[in-house]
Amino acid sequence: MPRPILARIHPDSVRHNLQLAKESAPNSRVWAVVKANAYGHGIERIYPALSKADGIALLDLDEAVRVRELGWTKPVLLLEGVFEPRDVEIADAHRLTVAVHCDEQLDLLTAAKPSRPIDIQLKMNSGMNRLGYRPGAYVQAWQRAREMAAIGEIGLMSHFANADDGAIDWQVDEFDAATKDLPGTRSLSNSAAVLWHPQAHRDWVRPGTILYGASPTGSVRHVTGFPLRAAMSLTSKIIGVQTLAPSETIGYGRTFQTEREMRIGVVACGYADGYPRHAPTGTPIAVDGIRTRIVGRVSMDMLTVDLTPCPAAGIGSRVELWGDQVKVDEVAEASGTIGYELMCALARRVPVEIDDASRLGESNDMRRTLVA
């Protein structure tokens, strides 16, 4: 028998969360962001849930080609654009829209001879200071792009540094001032701006993390007004039980000491599965549907839980590491990170099942892809 750990992907939840994003930005088209293999969920697994999106945005050419091979005919956006001449050929062959954030990328497009003009999203660095043209250089870059035969439509795009904690108007103002005389669609908003900054919604929004049910701030309390559903649940089972006397310790480093007699459950899940090793004593977890806490240090293949709130639990009891009962954000926050990182870091050795595969496959082809 394989270890009892299992990640279950819920495409219906992605569909629900996408709908929520659309309702939050009702006048905008939606790029569904599926970079990093759909934030660890698997592009093929959630693809059927994206049918109402207007475009799909990602980073890797390989992922873009996979999306086309699944049959997606609407736009596909490469969020970091192209890196070498070969990329332009692939973008041309698969009708990809490419972000352009620097002159070197315009040079690549100048040198290329695509079969038809390639649509671009011209990226402005409005204050994030990662990728993009400075506001003062933006119009000139736009003019250069506009004169190039290889370029079709030019969308105007920027990205927020702190849409999750309030102030974004300084970036919106930079963007608006530098683009006021330019035609073209505008795209600014990540998940946080979709939820909280309607003034930034514009023509296209780009939600990522909320599609998967995680909070843009990394904290569940910030999304209590939005009934997001977890797109991934990570479950396992209790594989051992120890009854400890007062003053005994648990696991490596002996970081947790009992104050009284205590039943401890051993769960088949550790950091080699993607559970954060930094999760401290007290991190929430659910056993047989009852919330409790982990105790002691997370080891490679196992972690230990306090069975005090669930005295009926024993070997074989079902454990939810994260999902709809214990949000991935709760585990992340306790561990000093954000849900994004935990979802993306699910380890390859964890078996993955699709929740409603039977309802998804319209064709056998698709079903084959989904189970591959």
Ligand X SMILES: *Cc1c(COP(=O)(O)O)cnc(C)c1O
Q: Which of residues 42-81 bind ligand X (CB under 6 A)?
A: 79
Amino acid at 318: R
All residues at 6 or more sequence positions from 104 whose CB lies less than 8 Å from its CB, including other chains: none
**Residue 265 touching ligand X (CB under 6 A):** no
Q: Give the C-alpha distances (Å, rounded to integers) separating 141 from 86, 108, 128, 137.
A: 23, 14, 18, 6
DSSP 3-state assignment of 149? coil
Nearer to ligand X, 216 or 284 (CB): 216
| Residue 327 annotated among the catalytic residues of the structure | no
Which part of the chain contacts ligand X (CB under 6 A), choosing from 10-18, 109-117, 203-211, 260-268? 203-211
**Euclidean distance between CA atoms 326 and 121, whole angstroms:** 38
* Options 22, 133, 252, 340, the catalytic residue: 252
**Euclidean distance between CA atoms 10 and 12, whole angstroms:** 5
**Residue 190 touching ligand X (CB under 6 A):** yes
Q: Work out how close the CB of 188 gets to ligand X at its nearest, in angstroms, rounded to a whole number.
A: 9
Beta pairing partners, 158: 124
Pick one of 17, 125, 191, 299: the residue that binds ligand X (CB under 6 A): 191
**Euclidean distance between CA atoms 295 and 87, whole angstroms:** 49
Which part of the chain contacts ligand X (CB under 6 A), choosing from 208-216, 247-255, 292-300, 359-367? 208-216
Q: Work out how close the CB of 184 gets to ligand X at its nearest, in angstroms, rounded to a whole number.
A: 17
**Residue 241 near residue 264 (C-beta atoms within 8 A):** yes
Q: Work out how close the CB of 204 gets to ligand X at its nearest, in angstroms, rounded to a whole number.
A: 10
**Residue 224 near residue 1 (C-beta atoms within 8 A):** no
* Options 35, 123, 237, 327, the catalytic residue: 35
**Residue 126 touching ligand X (CB under 6 A):** no
| Residue 22 annotated among the catalytic residues of the structure | no
Is 130 annotated to bind ligand? yes
Helix (H) or strand (E) holding 38: helix 35-39
Pick one of 207, 218, 270, 284: the residue that binds ligand X (CB under 6 A): 207
**Euclidean distance between CA atoms 267 and 238, whole angstroms:** 5
Which residues carry a binding-site annotation for substrate? Answer: 130, 300
**By the criterion CB under 6 A, which residues form the site for ligand X?**
33, 35, 79, 159, 190-191, 206-209, 216
Active-site residue numbers?
35, 252
Which residues carry a binding-site annotation? Answer: 130, 300
